[in-house]
Structure 1
Amino acid sequence: MARRRHQGLIHELCRADDGRPDAELLDHFHRGGDADAFEAIVRRHGPRVLSAARQVLGSSPDADDVFQAAFLILVREAARIRQQPALGGWLYSVAHRLALLARTDASRRARIESRRPGRAVDEPSDLSVREAGDILHEELNRLPDALRLPLLLCYLDGMTRDEAAQQLGVSVDILRGRLERGRSRLRSRLVRRGVSLPAGFLAAAATGSVAVAVPEPLVRGIVTAATAGTVSATVQTLLRLRTASMILAKTRLIVIAVAAVCLVSSGVFLGAAGKPDTGPPARANDPQAGGQPGDSPVPPTPTPDEPPAVTGRVVDETGTSVAGAEVKFIGPGQDVPTAVTDRGGAFRLPLPPGQDPTNGLRRTVIAMSPDGRRQGTARINTLKDARDVRVALRPARAATVRVADAAKRPVGDARVVLVSAELQSVTTTTTGSDGSAVVRYPEGIEVGFVFALKGGAGFDYVTTLIEKRGRERKPLPDEVALTLSGARTVRVKAVDRGDKPVAGLTIYPWYIEGPNRTEHANIGGNKAVTSVTDATGVATFDWIPADIDPGISFLPYSDEYGYFKPFDLKPGTTAAEGTLRMIRKARLSGRVVGPDDKPAAGVVVMANSAGLTSHNWHLSATTRADGTYEMTVNGEEVYVVGVVNDRLAAACRPCMVVRDGAVVGGVDFRLEAGTVLRGRVTVGDGKTPAVGSHLSLQELGGEFPEEMRPAGDTFYHLMSLHRSAQTDADGNYRFLVGPGKYILTPVAKTVKVTVGREREVVNDIHLPRPDPTRRLAGTVVDAGNRAVAGAAVHSTFMGNSNGPPFEATATAADGSFAVERAPVPTAVYARTADKSLAGLSRITADQPRVTIRVGPLAAARGRLLDHEGKPVAGGRVKYGIHFSADERPNTSFVVGYGGVAVADRDGWYTCTGMLVGEEYHLSHEKISDNGPWEGLTVVTPAKAETVSVGDTKLRKPDRPPTLEEITAAFFAPRDELTDRVASARAEARRLHQRVLLVLGNPGEAPTRAFIALIKKQSIAGPLEDFERVAVSAEDTIGLAAFREGYDRDRKLDRWPALVILGDDGKVLATKCPLPADQEAAVADLKTFLAANAPPRPDAASLLDAARARARAEGKRVFLKETASWCGPCRRLSRFLDQHRAMLEPHFVFIDIDRGRYAHGGEVMEKYRGKEGGGIPWCAVLDADGKMLANWDGPGGNIGFPTDPKAVEHFLKVLADTAPKLTDGERAKLRRALEKVP
């Protein structure tokens, strides 16, 4: 018999294999009712579906009914899942859950029957095995598809790895990795639930799950039901179980099944309004748990090994427990758990996969009654909040969404999603044949936007934001109309670093901005908009609208890959294909021990990164009981890893390079007592404690390795680990840190801190800001001094973008308003409700009253052209008023009270709502809201009319110089070599350097490679000890002078070559050539430079010597902070040298390079404070070291003085500290500075 069954199975599989992929078969059935296509699907996946049913129900009629019900659900969901890459896995999950439902219902009936006299119910003898299998399948269903499907194919379907890889469209290596991770995650979850996973457990627990032959009548029956609309009463009974605890326990799947059967029975496949999302969410607790009469309504108590979860109870307004309520997290995500309350209203909701509770949860839980008409929410911020949560159900709000096409015809089967203002997906449903759907949402949820989409039809959304870049929202109306006005197909291909396709990757569009909308729709992460890449790595989106404004970025969601180059769909294109470039994620692991070398459990390890993706990831993990931890991180990144703990500390692990797909272990930490970094923050003249002030602490983690810098990357990557704290009621703050260098940032101030192994470092901070708030009263009037009621009043902090000084408000009937404001310089803006009149007033930090006079508004019209004079269609012109804190040149500013105008196809744009008499700056905004911005023109409307600004032309795009151009500039002809060497030696003496001669042929590749090498950040530090002089092989005169002076025996016969001169000007060392391997060349060059660098001086000793000389000669000390790389510093040094004869009788000059000189930071900190500042910076000291004057003028550090105010301050410093300097000498210095370009 076994042989006959096996032969039957082979026969079935052969008939099912018609060669077409599942997506094609399902599409043919969905669009044309192709019965043969549906039969092929049934024959292909029927054995797996029937085995799932029989594993739970045995070889019984109930299993056959589950088989039919599963395929009827597929009929109903064909439109949504026809692009599903692994249809078999989806059907298997549906069948297993339906089988559990059927078994639960049978048990309930058996319990009822058992109460009758003479009835007894025999408990299955293999209960423990059955329960283990149930737990196994439940946890399998909780895994993401990427990990679940390989396990199903290899263990439950018996496929080889090669066959499973081919089925999933991935390589065998990728499949092997997913199997290992899937087994590991499954094992940990099963252990937490008391089920071990020894070798062979998967196969043993899945006994009966191998594919079984499907009886021919069963195949014919389901094909007939699907195409003719007939179904047995038994199947209808199974799917119409309506007790809340039964239906919701199996997620929303059964609700859809009921609808599907009702539709199939009447021969209709479309038309039900308000159909919920049936994607298989992760399961939590079974509704029967604790459901016996008399059970107390207490949330399930987790065992010590169970994963963290939210536990609580759902009640109605009267406090009565609600059974069968569905409980889940609101928000995006691909694998969100769902729970159902038992008869006592209790629930246990596991945290979403990957959620680290140690970093805070910041999640919202939503509960809803079985019919969805009563809903409630609870906010869970920390793990402490996750216990004994009480969710009260109240009548839900509802809105009817009507979706139509451009011809006003209803669009059925469109997905409709309601998203909160916090970008959390609250409700997902589907329109019926009349194009309508009802979205329900809890009373306390502020709606952000509602969107609808359908393949081939398009996408549309409506937002509740009242005005662009504003914060006020209006309630969602009871009726919402959306128009799907056409779609285009976009295909996004995902490839790895070797340009190989990445299959099975979930891709989603980030946000879409429609024309004339107050905000974009941030739809990223919502399941309704995702698509999964096929075997060729391509994900297809057939609903993208044509009328998008700034374009769309497509991003991935993956446990295995990160991206380093997204695909950006440009506006105005009708169809598109693009590439998303991926990096395989890596694993980072280690162990943390305490001072006694025992494992430290529950310690948070953080990792911050920079690198190829430029995302600056912030990741964390918590140590296990044995002190170990691990985290998944992006490859091709550089990480700073450290421990954040309140009791013990350790120094961070700096600059850890993690390559694509690497496994980096041994990132260990040994905790010690640490150093308490504390202090008190005060504000204002009275030094009032700053209560609740936020402080940021960055632990510096070394220099970013140049070999990790992508081509064209010119950014400075700050490698650091971030912590934060708030001051207490007395203004005190506290951090516990390990040895290292830190940047402490309170509000608008930066303090550098170096920590050794001190027990405590105290750093008090005083902020000039006065008392925290002020009362502001105001009035809004029109041109006739008449009060304006209902005017919106907004504020801008002039010169700072840290947020408005007060919350937006509106005027009362008498035109008045009153607010609590931050005491900062503020621009107060008012606009009438109809937006026809507006006005602006600027007030000081402590001004108590303001009157704003509103009037008619102006506009400006212009044409946006590129550098060639061609119209820039769709170009964004941002306009607004610049608000700065003062009138200093180059001071920071913020832009406000303008907007963005979009150019039409001919480049014309109009800026509206402009205040008369105010100066507006117009800029080209290259990327929506993010810049960069390129200035176009300045407009000041004199009247309330449209001002013509004419053509505004963009400059030619900047092009970074090529390596050839950089090399040519480095070796460009200059003065005579002897003069350049003499000048370099003088500069080297002043800065305690040596002269480095660099010889090369700019036309040869080895020389260009060397120039690229010395431009690297890792070489910049060692090169600071040398004053460089270039000698080109193409400069025959210079080369001859070099040969005569430094290479008479012609030993340096190959390029490039290096020659270091000693303090006496003679050759000290030479090197030629460097290794071809770049990493080896970097190390070789560092070694050569370090071996021949001059000793770095001690700044404190230099200052002591200068003071002693000043005392002996009756002079003052002229202290200058400088650096070898600082151009303005060199200009100032040359200027002072040119007038040394005039200044030397009064001053002893000393240069300090705090970056190179020993104790340089300590010396300069004494005079400039811990926060330091820009250079050059000078101070004049007396012989005792007391500072008499410095470079800080009214506008800050004057640097190299060129503008009139800076020159005045420079001359005042000389007048105050060198009284014997004559008026004529100062006048001469003034004239010399005025001539400086």
Structure 2
Amino acid sequence: MVLCCLEGLTRDEAAARLGVPLTTLKSQLDRGRQKLAGALTRRGVALGVGLLLGAVTSPAGACPPRLVAAALTAASGAAPKGVRALAEGAGACGTVKRFVAAAVLLGVVGVAVAFGPGAGPEHREGAKAPARKPPGEPQKPNPTPPGTTVRPTGTADEKVGKDAGETVTYRGRVLGPDGKPVAGAKLYAEQSYRYTGRPKTLADRTTTDAEGRFEFRVPRALFEGAEGTVAATAPKHGLGWVELGVGARDDDLTIRLSGEDTPVMGQIVTLEGKPVPGVRVTAVQVSAAAQDDLGPWLRAIKQKRDNDDPEWEHLRHRIGGMGLAATTDATGRFELRGIGSNRLVRLRLEGPTVSTQDIRVLTRTGETLTVKHWEGDPQFKRAPTFLTYYAANFRHPAAPTRPIVGVVRDRDSGKPLGGVTIRGYKFADRELLDVGEAAVEATTDKEGRYRLVGMPRGTGNEILAVPGPDQPYLLCRKAVADPPGLNPVTVDYELKRGVWIEGKVTDTASGRPVRVAVEYFATRDNPNRRDHPGFENIYGFFYSDSFSKTDGSYRVVGIPGAGLVVTGRTREHLCTTERDDEFGRKEGHIAAAPNFLGPLINFTAIASVEAKAGAESTRRDVTLDPGWTFTGSLIGPDGKPVTGAQWLAVESASARWTDKMEGAAFTVAKFNPKSPRDILFRHAEKGLVGILQPPAENGGRVTVRMQPGATVTGRLLDADGRPRAGIRVELWVRTKQTPHFEDYSPKSIVTDKDGRFRIEALVPEFRFMLFHTEGTLEFGDGLRSGEVKDLGDVRLKAGQ
């Protein structure tokens, strides 16, 4: 919820960041958007402070540790800024009121502190997956509209191809809105834009020929196993793009350009209305609706309720700003072209005299729109917040900045440290930091001096010293004073040298090196933490950016005494809570520095390490467990292969439904034989269901015989006994391995004009729930294969 609703990620971007499949992310977001009462009901938790405190160990989801700590403080009666910030931010996406802290601890907002991409069991039939069309986009033989995600046909290694070596080859064509080829279009490729971070300047890879065709290669390391984006631009057209899932087909791409291009023409002024020259205006993200139709989004913002997020719902197709930028002239004016029409672009404003910030602009004519983002919360003394959407021609007043200057030195020797990044961490005008939006940083020179520009005036600014990759120092956080005026504020740093912790990360089964995020945490009982003030309460989805190399080797900085080396999630390995060896942990979280470590389902290994004082380095090797991998096939009651089924794979207290299988064969990976999970199969059209029984050994093969599912009918009534017509309720299932309900397929049903409903292809002997914000209804007793059970007249039980 924080990634998609606060930080502006698309679902694809958030899925890549969290290391979960897109289908899982959709389910998590849909559930998170419901009221807290319903979400807490699913976990069987009442709204008491006692349970709130106990919920810290819940593995149901993940949240930024800063908010966990703040929530604990709130439970004792205080209301720190972190909790108030979450109330403000998460409230924009759902009902986060009095018990926001409980929701955070229970993982309802679902933000993983994962460091790399990961996934559950993979669908590896090797068949060609069709392009995923945006909502409402008509099916066309080849062209792929902007923002389309092409689903994978294999693993990342398979995508590269045997003849490509360390490069990936992309082939395809670029078409105009009329379907005709566009010659001379420029092509670009990059990792899918995960958030609106610091803009990149992209080099064009090639241009299309007279037939609109292109072919180019890019380094495999460009994507690092994540999803990629191929985009095209051409004069008098708006940009077009296609997102490629890991392993997606890359030799028959079609990119459709926007037919119209509405230029963005703006003026930046001071708060007093005077023009501001020299402001760099950079496009950091472009969002498009299906067929570039803003109509559904415009209607949605007029009817917006507190738990709605129209941007997420209707402007789902996003890409980075493609390096589009301009600088304001003497009159404060600028112009940007090439974005397209009827799109939303986020522009970043940066300059020597203005606070760095992002603004939203629609590439259409009309008036400025102001939309209530959140209703506010009197309990935390939070006023309502609003979003401003400028039309393509606009005037924006920019707030002033106050420079922050200082020197960074080694504490013991006093020598200046060059190459240290000073980064904005907390901003006076926003309590909850948007990781992507706050791209304010500077680097120390050889004398250790820095000058940071872009932070706003006000109380609450904090900055972070981030040493370079070859500097043996830890991160250090400091507050910034707010004296009167706009003169520079001085913040100096003295960093104490740490200890290098080195090692290698390998796969336990194959012995092969693994490239994965690696982080260091000090245990709370390590007395040497006091020698590193500022290495506390540093939160974010990455507190550093350290990865093991292609040979598996890594190097991170620690402090003498007890600590932990932690590896992030991967697509191929079990999480640490599923392991019983030295790298496994069963607790829900670990109190550590610089932040809480957890939920632990987001990590693949946690290795204890004891660094010696005075030593240059300490070695700690880490292994990752891939679990079992086995194959299987589906057959029907007649013994013939069944194609077109979906399957629900439960992994680490989460679950996902796959897309429809084109064949009858499937592959299950990351299976933990010591804690087997239910894997359900469902064929909606044929009404068949099945449950997988795992093989006796790793690498085995199984056959799942599908049987007719159960059917449930009923009529939904309100409290007064009147039929509830046209009510959409979610359908959940509780598997035997998970304590809470997961999405079933279909994930929702709608009652007819008489309030009646019919649900087919249910798995017998499992518990199900109909969920609505007004109440719930559980059922499942007596469900038998091939039989219809009528629940009769039913009512949702409110408050459960």
Q: TM > 0.5 between the two?
A: no
TM-score scaled by structure 2? 0.43
RCO (CA 8 Å, sep 6+): is it higher in 1 or 2? 2
Of structures 1 and 2, the larger Rg is shown by 1
Higher helix share: 1
TM-score (norm 1): 0.30
